[in-house]
Amino acid sequence: MKVRILILPKRGLLDPEGRAVKEMLLEEGFKVKEVKVGKVVELEVEEDTDIRTLAEKYLINPLVEEYVIE
Amino acid sequence: MKVRILILPKRGLLDPEGRAVKEMLLEEGFKVKEVKVGKVVELEVEEDTDIRTLAEKYLINPLVEEYVIE
């Protein structure tokens, strides 16, 4: 099965890349209110894979990141 | 409005981070067939924003990346 994991900085935490993108887009004339930059991991795995464990143990830093499995 | 842009390496192109994650997960016993690692950019912008131009001109390298707007 195909699984997509979105990993984003937790709200309120430092997101230097998001801030840089926001500033650049504002300078270019885009009216952006907020920008967050994170990672996406697309996996093809067997049906019985424990995605939550895989994500929490190997892909995420739970102190500063949150994730969504799709 | 909120927009999410997923940016992934084009199929068949080098994805060193995806390959590293795949190898590590295989070593840990997960039966993964494929792993792709890319970026997600979440934006809050005004309704009339030309997201496609914003993405193609400022966020994407069309030679090596493909993207999806959600």
Interface contact flag, A8 B38, Cβ < 8 Å = no
Cβ pair A54:B8 closer than 8 A: no
| Model ipTM value | 0.90
Catalogue all structural domains in chain A, each as residue range(s) with its CATH number: 2-69 (3.30.1280.10)
Write down the pLDDT at residue B12: 78
Report the amino acid identity of residue B65: E
pTM: 0.90
* Cα dihedral A70, B11, B22, A15 in deg (nearest 10): -60
Per-residue pLDDT of chain B (70 residues), as tens digits, is 999 999 999 987 789 999 999 999 999 999 999 999 999 999 999 999 999 999 999 999 999 999 999 9
| Shortest alpha-carbon distance between residue B13 and chain A (Å) | 15
The reply to whether residue A43 touches residue B35, judged by beta carbons under 8 angstroms, is: yes
Picking from B27, B25, B61, the residue whose alpha carbon sits closest to that of residue A49 is B25
Q: Tens of pLDDT along A4-28?
A: 999 999 987 789 999 999 999 999 9
